[in-house]
Chain A
């Protein structure tokens, strides 16, 4: 595993190796944390930590360009976008994480450990020689090297990736964009519709009174009867004219009635109308 660091000079090697091991531990821990923490925001931040660790490792491997791309594109752009979205739409850990399938976790754990052991065995068994030193064939820096690969050997997959991006954009449009089927009604249409409906002004707002100004209290018409249309259809209109009972600690409800008498009488219907 340490062989990969052979690129550095001898004097640096200890320092570089130390940094690698620190970063490795941090990166793996952050990756584990990413899948274990429950809040989406924390999750995104942990991913950012992994990305940063990777970027540092790239830099240590003598790939500064890749390191900066990693930071600018992934950590800077993509992950920040994630964070914005998560914060904007407020994803919380609402998902239940109670496992309902019997033995699922145990089996998953066993399978994961088994695979890990096997892979570790496999990789450990392999003697990985020192990586080839940065080849002079790619010119002076790794920027040229990347460019060379992208524009020669891998030009086709690179171009085809474009298809992937178009697909992603198109897919986002399909799933998220709601196409308007009918033309958007103009103000004129709305006015015409209102006139046609016969009710020129809007619905009256619910009654706002000194005693009870709740939204479920209908406004009173001039004859004193409640106007049903003034209460939102999702609420249960409270039609009684008596004031709401307020129960104070230690008092009995029937005492309230007398208490209510001291209050102002209900105002007339007209004063309840809010200005609109």
Chain B
């Protein structure tokens, strides 16, 4: 294990040549788009969305070119040194872009799926007055995410990491006028800070230990570092990953983040940003290779999250929140894969890529349904929509088959190797994780089937609901032009299929959901491609091994159970009371309550304390957080009397002291 890590670290990174020399273009396109849209003001309103779409597409085109260039190269890691940032003495940080197998996978995912979702947004936000701002933020996000995956050192990665956090914060709170959106944005921001603290501590530790932050330097240095250092690094990186990827115990923000517009949920909170944690862990594989303890922790976190996410997803009636739980669960699988070491990295990435397709497809489908249903998010008011929204139905259904792990769709190929690899591990831990992953596969199939039946089949509960005249819940008041939905009156639903600009991307994503997994896994394509970065799995698997068959069987069982509960009998329009587990799951398994007692209460207490000191002070505007500093400030401020003679006095006294200080040296 150690040997392979050393070998990986030793892999020479060559300077970029040819088309790869232009890899800065990847950042330049979306950055330019964001700058024009955000600084241009209302002048760009008319054509803003076109620019907003064109820039990510341009980046995607470049990404494809770079990918094929990279395929043609024998040695496939290219580092583009941009410049040195603050070359002060020992502190040398060069800003560079690393184009290698791993980063190019992400580039294609981000720009490809990103472009599709942004095109979809053109239709989805057609009537939103602030559409330009939305596209500006989206471009900003794409640029930051690309910076994250292209960085050739941890500091630049951190810049991208914070950049996606900022974009996510801005986009969750895009509809600021909704209090819940503003609160959710703040929550995401705060919870992410906890994770970021872990990452920044890890970076500081790297600098203190190895004197560098570049990937090559750190990976070279980690070989000779003590086991304590590697363990600490691994755990800190895991903390960072937990925050960004919504893993237990920092999972709570993701469910609330669904307050953002649905394309945001699809791009940031399903396909790309939340997987940044997995990227971080896989990228840091030489560190994890030397820290078995940290790897175990990663696997445990992944296992717990995949179960927690699945349980939450099974109980939510809000279609987006259910999907968010599902995202947590799927990322749990990826984290688990990353925790398995070289046996799992490549499968984690494979799952990540195919998940990017089918989860984005599911979210866009959900968005399409909401678009047609006056932004109704409660699945208990759906039902029987398959005839009304046929294209959405088909694409959603394909993605459903993919996520449920039904062969030959993506999920099967991507997920089963992880479960298999679990059982391939030595010791009981691997077996336990494998069993949990198997159960998770069943849960996945169950909640997805539940979603399918509640949405597409059965009675048209929305007709009944409209007749009953109750106000319906709305999540997205301005989306899809349903302005009248904002005031929550009991008007009738008029479900309709979305315009082609929305269905088009959904179709493309559906194709990806069907084929991506098979394409990546069969013939070990991804495995061979990524081998220089993450190493090869020690042993390869067939597809219909015992765990694979068990997983498929459990998936079928989950589907059957779903049909038994939600397909066989009509779904009640109001949620039944449910057992204790259901109640707990509806409350996010008390994640918020836990956060509240552990983090929020002490935090609030501190805030109140500072507010108390604030109000005591002069006009409560720009005052002080701590009484000590504030009081000192007030007292010192009183010395600024405004009288020139008292100023002169302070100068005179200062002169006396200064002379005394200097004479004291010699007298």
Q: Which residues of A contact B (CB under 8 A)?
A: 101, 104, 107-108, 111-112, 114-115, 118-119, 121-122, 125
Kindly supply a per-residue 1/0 record for chain B positions 624-667, scoring 1 wherever the CB is within 8 Å of any chain A CB and 0 otherwise.
Answer: 00000000000000000101011001001101100110010001
Closest 3 CB pairs of A and B: A115-B656, A111-B653, A114-B656
* Smallest beta-carbon distance A111→chain B, Å: 4
Q: Are B645 and A115 in contact (CB under 8 A)?
A: no
Closest residue of A by beta carbon distance from B666 = A125
Q: Are A115 and B659 in contact (CB under 8 A)?
A: yes
Q: Are A104 and B645 in contact (CB under 8 A)?
A: yes
On chain A, the residues within 8 Å of B653 by CB distance are: 107, 111, 114
Q: CA separation between A121 and B666, bound complex, in Å?
A: 12
* Smallest beta-carbon distance B643→chain A, Å: 6
Q: Are A115 and B652 in contact (CB under 8 A)?
A: yes
* Smallest beta-carbon distance A115→chain B, Å: 4
Beyond A101-B641, A104-B645, A104-B649, is A111–B656 a contact (Cβ under 8 Å)? yes
On chain A, the residues within 8 Å of B646 by CB distance are: 101, 104
On chain B, the residues within 8 Å of A101 by CB distance are: 641, 643, 645-646
- How many A-B residue pairs lie within 8 Å, measured between CB atoms? 35
Highest count of chain A CB atoms <10 Å: which of B645, B656, B659: B656
Q: Are A112 and B652 in contact (CB under 8 A)?
A: yes
Q: Are A121 and B663 in contact (CB under 8 A)?
A: yes
On chain A, the residues within 8 Å of B659 by CB distance are: 115, 118-119, 122
On chain B, the residues within 8 Å of A107 by CB distance are: 649, 653
Given contacts A101-B646, A112-B652, 13 further A-B contacts (CB under 8 A): A101-B645, A104-B646, A104-B649, A108-B645, A108-B649, A108-B652, A114-B653, A118-B659, A118-B663, A121-B663, A121-B667, A122-B659, A122-B663
On chain A, the residues within 8 Å of B652 by CB distance are: 108, 111-112, 115
* Smallest beta-carbon distance B661→chain A, Å: 10
Q: CA separation between A101 and B667, bound complex, in Å?
A: 35
On chain A, the residues within 8 Å of B643 by CB distance are: 101
Q: Could you jot down 13 A-B contacts, CB within 8 Å? A: A101-B643, A111-B653, A111-B655, A112-B652, A114-B656, A115-B652, A115-B655, A115-B659, A118-B659, A118-B660, A118-B663, A119-B659, A121-B667
On chain A, the residues within 8 Å of B660 by CB distance are: 114, 118
On chain B, the residues within 8 Å of A121 by CB distance are: 663, 667
On chain A, the residues within 8 Å of B655 by CB distance are: 111, 115
Main secondary structure, interface of B, reads helix
Q: CA separation between A112 and B659, bound complex, in Å?
A: 12
Q: CA separation between A125 and B662, bound complex, in Å?
A: 14
* Smallest beta-carbon distance A268→chain B, Å: 62
Highest count of chain A CB atoms <10 Å: which of B643, B645, B649, B655: B649
Q: CA separation between A104 and B663, bound complex, in Å?
A: 26
Closest residue of B by beta carbon distance from A107 = B649
* Smallest beta-carbon distance A124→chain B, Å: 11
Kindly supply a per-residue 1/0 record for chain B positions 518-540, scoring 1 wherever the CB is within 8 Å of any chain A CB and 0 otherwise.
Answer: 00000000000000000000000
On chain B, the residues within 8 Å of A111 by CB distance are: 649, 652-653, 655-656
* Smallest beta-carbon distance B341→chain A, Å: 72
Q: CA separation between A122 and B663, bound complex, in Å?
A: 7
Closest residue of A by beta carbon distance from B654 = A111
Closest residue of A by beta carbon distance from B663 = A122
Q: CA separation between A115 and B655, bound complex, in Å?
A: 7
* Smallest beta-carbon distance B299→chain A, Å: 70
Q: CA separation between A125 and B655, bound complex, in Å?
A: 19
Q: CA separation between A62 and B660, bound complex, in Å?
A: 36
Q: CA separation between A111 and B655, bound complex, in Å?
A: 9
On chain B, the residues within 8 Å of A108 by CB distance are: 645, 649, 652
On chain B, the residues within 8 Å of A119 by CB distance are: 659
On chain A, the residues within 8 Å of B663 by CB distance are: 118, 121-122
* Smallest beta-carbon distance B637→chain A, Å: 15
- Those of B553-598 within 8 Å (CB) of chain A: none
* Smallest beta-carbon distance B605→chain A, Å: 40
Q: CA separation between A107 and B651, bound complex, in Å?
A: 12
Kindly supply a per-residue 1/0 record for chain B positions 109-132, scoring 1 wherever the CB is within 8 Å of any chain A CB and 0 otherwise.
Answer: 000000000000000000000000
Q: CA separation between A108 and B645, bound complex, in Å?
A: 9
Q: CA separation between A119 and B659, bound complex, in Å?
A: 8
Q: CA separation between A108 and B649, bound complex, in Å?
A: 6
Kindly supply a per-residue 1/0 record for chain B positions 201-233, scoring 1 wherever the CB is within 8 Å of any chain A CB and 0 otherwise.
Answer: 000000000000000000000000000000000
On chain B, the residues within 8 Å of A104 by CB distance are: 645-646, 649
* Smallest beta-carbon distance A146→chain B, Å: 31
* Smallest beta-carbon distance A95→chain B, Å: 12
Q: Are B649 and A118 in contact (CB under 8 A)?
A: no
Q: CA separation between A111 and B657, bound complex, in Å?
A: 9
Closest residue of A by beta carbon distance from B660 = A118
Q: CA separation between A271 and B146, bound complex, in Å?
A: 101
* Smallest beta-carbon distance B660→chain A, Å: 6
Q: CA separation between A86 and B652, bound complex, in Å?
A: 30
* Smallest beta-carbon distance A259→chain B, Å: 58
Q: Are B649 and A125 in contact (CB under 8 A)?
A: no
* Smallest beta-carbon distance B654→chain A, Å: 9
On chain B, the residues within 8 Å of A114 by CB distance are: 653, 656, 660
Q: CA separation between A101 and B650, bound complex, in Å?
A: 13
* Smallest beta-carbon distance A192→chain B, Å: 51
Closest residue of B by beta carbon distance from A118 = B659
Q: CA separation between A122 and B656, bound complex, in Å?
A: 12
Q: CA separation between A119 and B663, bound complex, in Å?
A: 9
Q: CA separation between A122 and B660, bound complex, in Å?
A: 10
Q: CA separation between A258 and B663, bound complex, in Å?
A: 88
On chain A, the residues within 8 Å of B645 by CB distance are: 101, 104, 108
* Smallest beta-carbon distance B534→chain A, Å: 70
Q: CA separation between A153 and B144, bound complex, in Å?
A: 61
* Smallest beta-carbon distance B151→chain A, Å: 53
Q: CA separation between A114 and B643, bound complex, in Å?
A: 22
Closest residue of A by beta carbon distance from B651 = A111
* Smallest beta-carbon distance B653→chain A, Å: 4
Q: CA separation between A111 and B663, bound complex, in Å?
A: 16
Closest residue of B by beta carbon distance from A117 = B656
* Smallest beta-carbon distance A219→chain B, Å: 52
* Smallest beta-carbon distance B13→chain A, Å: 57
